[in-house]
Amino acid sequence: MATNRDQWPPHIQQRYPKPGKPWFLVIVAVIFIVVIGAFVSTGISRVINPPLSEKLLAWEVKDKNNVEVIFEITRPVDMDVWCLIRSQDFFMTDLGYAILEFPQDGKTYKQVNYVLKTASEAFTVEVINCDDDPKSSLFPAPQFGIDVQRPQQDPPAINSGF
């Protein structure tokens, strides 16, 4: 049995013409691959180099009611930023909570030293998140205990968890 198309009899070659490439499907596949590749590369670049990032550098208990928090912010030059920092006790109950405001100042990097007031001595401190919206859903509500007196924070804090 002949498998090479050129060896088929002429009447069979006419009945079953040589199939062409499905150019439409090739074009659709190429467009699909380019679009998916653009989304993936954009996503990867934002994960590797986010436009706004924060990093806790250090914290130190100054006394029973004060913790010095040192953190850095990297942001676009023209972005106002709000950052949430909090301190907690051993049972992960909030002792200090502050949303800090940093207006644009023409710089992309900012190192912040802030003294966070606490209800008692802090066990841990964290920079939860920074965002360009002071009412961001990335800022969880404070989790103070029922009997904890919430300390009022100093500027640039705009919210002390009240």
125 pairs with which residues across the strands? 87
* Residue owning tokens 């003294």: 115
Average pLDDT over residues 118-138: 93
Is there a contact between 149 and 120 (Cβ–Cβ < 8 Å)?
Answer: no
Average pLDDT over residues 69-73: 96
Average pLDDT over residues 127-145: 91
Q: Which helix (H) or strand (E) holds 14?
A: helix 10-15
pTM, rounded to two decimals: 0.71
Is there a contact between 94 and 141 (Cβ–Cβ < 8 Å)?
Answer: no
Q: What confidence category does residue 113 fall into, taking pLDDT thresholds of 50, 70 and 90?
A: very high
Give the pLDDT confidence of 3-19 residue by residue, as tens digits.
677 888 888 888 887 77
The fold adopted by the segment(s) 53-159 is Immunoglobulin-like (2.60.40)
Compute the distance between CA of residue 15 and CA of residue 9 in angstroms, rounded to an integer. 10
Strand ranges, E, within 10-161: 53-63, 66-74, 81-88, 94-102, 109-117, 124-131, 157-159
Average pLDDT over residues 45-56: 86
